[in-house]
Amino acid sequence: MTGTPTVPFDQRDGHIWLDGEFVEWKHAKIHVLTHGLHYASCVYEGERVYSGNVFRLREHTDRLYRSAQILDFEIPYSKEALEAATAQLIELNGIVDGYVRPVAWRGSEQISTSARASRIHVALACWSWPSYFDPEAKKRGITLETAQWRRPPPSSSPCQAKASSHYMIATLCKHHAEANGFQDALMLDWRGRIAEATSANVFFVRNGELHTPTPDCFLDGITRQTVIDLAREQNVNVIEREILPDELDSFNECFVTGTAAEVCPVSRIDQHAFMPSAITFDLMTAYSDRVHNRRGVAVHD
């Protein structure tokens, strides 16, 4: 990311939508015995705002509701109400280009493994956020370290939910990578195959074709899906398959994709070097055009 924020996130100005009401940012609080804090019964989304509109808003909303269903709770607002509140919040906070964080969690009525009596809370926050990675690092291509933790098998974790519990090992891996001078970490799955970065999907280029891991134990990201569509529109062959670490030297380009990361070149994974080139740069441009609606594509569903 672009460094430690100058203003802590709990001390910012503006408003947050919390359980159906717009409240002042500093007053958006939860109780210390909230179930979502203790037992990770929490799902969320990350959405990007471009020129005041959320890119692929309905897809993000749909995934939030699917994630909640997978974690066995129901969001107590309609999708239309949540999207309307999102638009109002963006306008209220004066966000032109930024980030929206919808989050839903079990409350503090019951603290035990079972929490069916807990109320479901929902919040929306948004803030200006021009770039996830430092712009200079992104220009050169970020560096990744192979992580020491691995993505578990889908039989061990509900991998298709965007749930807070999945990001504990991502934080550990990213901290370790940063301590060693890298920008992020490359995570393998439980089989030792390449999976993703800590919060972004990964792509490789070889012989003019795009290779990307099959998302069978991690999220099939919305940005990932967009980039695959863009590549196919440019007649680039996209191959989704298992990819092993010992293949890294056979690829000449690498990049990661995510709502926060967008399309970001990778210059090195451990000792393996990559040179961002035509396909990476073309997809970066195409993605920028798409999110800014420069090709007549609707960005607010």
CATH class of the 135-291 domain in this structure:
alpha beta
- The residues annotated with a catalytic role in the active site are 162
Mean pLDDT of all residues belonging to the chain: 94
| Structure tokens, 191 | 């089989």
Q: Please provide the DSSP assignment of 149-206 as one string.
A: EEEPPTTTS-TTS-BGGGGHHHHHHHHHHHHTT-SEEEEEETTS-EEEESSSEEEEEE
**Contacts for 256 with CB less than 8 Å, ≥ 6 apart:** 142, 184, 197, 200, 201, 202, 203, 263, 264, 266
Q: Is the pTM of this model over 0.85?
A: yes
Parse the chain into domains and list their residue ranges: 11-128, 135-291
Whether 212 has a pLDDT exceeding 60, the answer reads yes
pLDDT tens digit sequence for 150-163: 999 999 999 999 99
How far is C-alpha 254 from the geometric centre of its chain's CA atoms? 18
Helix (H, G, I), strand (E, B) or coil at 58: helix
Architecture of domain 11-128: 2-Layer Sandwich (3.30)
| Structure tokens, 232 | 């196919």
Whether 226 has a pLDDT exceeding 90, the answer reads yes
Contact 145, 186 (CB under 8 A): yes
Residue in 263, 277, 7, 12 with CA at minimum distance from that of residue 133: 263
pLDDT tens digit sequence for 87-118: 999 999 999 999 999 999 999 999 999 999 99
